Amino acid sequence: MAKVYKKSSRNGLIALYLGKRDFVDHVDNVDVVDGVIKIDPSDLAGRSVWVSLTCAFRYGREDLDVIGLSFRKDIWFKHLQVYPPTSEPKPDNTHVQNALLRKTGDDGHPFIFVLPTNLPCSVTLQPGPGDAGKACGVDFEVKAYIAIEADNPDEQIDKKDTARLVIRKIQFAPDKLGAGPKANINKQFIMSEKPIQLEASTEKELYYHGDPIPISVKINNESNKVVKKVKISIEQTTDVVLYSADKYTKVVLCEEFGDQVDPASTLEKEYRVTPLLANNIEKRGLALDGKLKDEDTNLASSTIIRAGMDKEILGILVSYTIKATAVVSGGGILGSLTSSDVTVEIPLVLMYPKPADLTSYWNSFPLQNRLEDHQSGETDPRRNTETDFPRIKSRHKQSTCSTS
């Protein structure tokens, strides 16, 4: 096993072990969440050891919870008794668990959770610079804890009796990709007999995070106006469907190109742009692929909705739109009253590529520590953890679109 994630309780009685932190949704099934808990039974005082897996949706600032402006809902929850062992039938150990049991010895106890296919993937909404507390979004948490009963609201569980690890549910791009979208528009202007025709298209419907996106733009200027430049922007729309029906649109890329199209002229050109989180790190409310405090977080992947799925249970829907704009010069005595920009929109799907060999993929990223041991405390359990997706660095300085 190349790497192990470990989280110990503050009193040292239990330690939670996982072989990975990212679990893949394969559409028809999801990777099982398999791990091991190492238990010191000497000071349990008649209590049992449990493990739970929770998919939770959190929306609103944590410090506003007392006045009802914060919302948290457990979308899915399951718990298992790990110690003392029960008489219920148990599935066979996975290869990951066998490796972890060799590490933990006789004190190790395996557990497995099977996630349903209708749960959302992990999404985090980027907070502002001054925001405190846990970020909004959808997250998954594995918690090992010591208690008399598994889920008794009257029983107070001490923080020193718990060990938590946040995991992430992710999706890779599907194997079959559709044809690229195309859209066009004819825009008529006052005091101009003929229109400006604008068309935008992409070669395919889906692109991978960090890859350049080639956008073909065609402009046929039959008007008496001058197209002074071309503007390409990409917007991320985050639809909070579970709680408030809020919808946010953030511009994640905006670049301008000084290609002029005079009257009775045409332009046909391909523009290559790359939306990156590195150019949007201060935008509050931007949807990210979970694990906010790590250096490997990227823009959130597009939400893929399967037939028959309940949108509400997904919590947060993420989509992207490409906008191609022909910026038209005002000119003349009437100026901007006789002209306006011409814009066309096409959808964009952003996802991660599916690696041919998942095992090699998980093991391909360098780690500072092969074994991580974080003592449980009040800090965010995601802090200083290693993950499997490298953060995509900015390769160029992104320009800011002007309003003119």
Q: Give CA torsion, residues 86, 52, 23, 103, to 10 deg.
A: -60
pLDDT, tens only, 231-251: 999 999 998 887 666 788 999
Q: Give CB contacts under 8 A, 24+ apart, made by 180-189.
A: 180/204, 180/205, 181/205, 181/346, 181/347, 182/346, 183/344, 183/345, 183/346, 184/218, 184/344, 185/342, 185/343, 185/344, 187/340, 187/342, 189/223, 189/224, 189/225, 189/328, 189/338, 189/339, 189/340
Residues of the chain with pLDDT under 70: 1-2, 60-70, 129-134, 243-245, 291-296, 308, 331-339, 356-400, 402-404
Residue corresponding to tokens 């096409």: 346
Domains of the chain, CATH where assigned: 4-171+354-375 (2.60.40.840), 182-351 (2.60.40.640)
d(CA 208, CA 107): 43
How many Å apart are CA 33 and CA 170, to the nearest integer? 13
pLDDT digit string, tens, across residues 373-387:
444 443 333 333 333
Cα-atom radius of gyration of the chain, to the nearest Å? 26
Per-residue confidence (pLDDT) for residue 102, from 0 to 100:
93
- Measured over the CA atoms of residue 80, residue 82, residue 86 and residue 88, the dihedral's sign is positive
pLDDT at 192: 84
Per-residue pLDDT reduced to its tens digit, 310-322: 777 778 899 999 9
Q: Are 68 and 37 in contact (CB under 8 A)?
A: no
pTM score, two decimals?
0.80
- Output the pLDDT for position 180: 93
